[in-house]
A and B are shown apart, each in its own frame.
Chain A
Amino acid sequence: MSHYTSVKTSIKSTTALLQALADLGFGTGKVRVCEKAEQLEGYHGDKREQTAEIIIPRRHVGSSSNDIGFKLQEDGTYEAIISDYDKNKYGKTWMGKLTQRYAYNNLKNELSDGGFFIESEHEEKGEIFMQVGTNFGG
Chain B
Amino acid sequence: MSAPISIRIDKDGNVHFDVHGVEGPSCEKLTEALVRATGSEVDKTLTEEYALERPDYIQNFDE
Instruction: List residues of chain A with CB under 8 Å of any chain B CB.
Output: 1-10, 12-13, 96-104, 106-107, 110-111, 114, 116-117, 119, 126-135, 137-138
Contacts and interface: CB of A to CB of B under 8 A. Distances in A.
Interface in B2-20: 2-20
Contacts, number: 165
B11 A100 contact: yes
Contacts of B17: 3-7
Q: Which 4 A-B pairs have the closest CB atoms?
A: A99-B13, A133-B2, A2-B49, A10-B39
B33 interface: yes
A1 B16 CA distance: 13
Contact of A8 (B22, B23, B42): B42
A9 B14 contact: yes
A106 to B, nearest CB: 6
Given A106-B37, A107-B34, A133-B4, A5 B13 contact: no
Given A5-B44, A7-B15, A9-B15, A104 B38 contact: no
A108 to B, nearest CB: 10
A3 B27 contact: yes
Interface of B: 1-23, 26-28, 30-31, 33-35, 37-47, 49-50
- Which of B9, B17, B18, B39 is the most central at the interface, judged by chain A CB atoms within 10 Å of its CB? B9
Contacts of A8: 14, 39-42
Contacts of A114: 33-34
Contacts of B30: 3, 134, 138
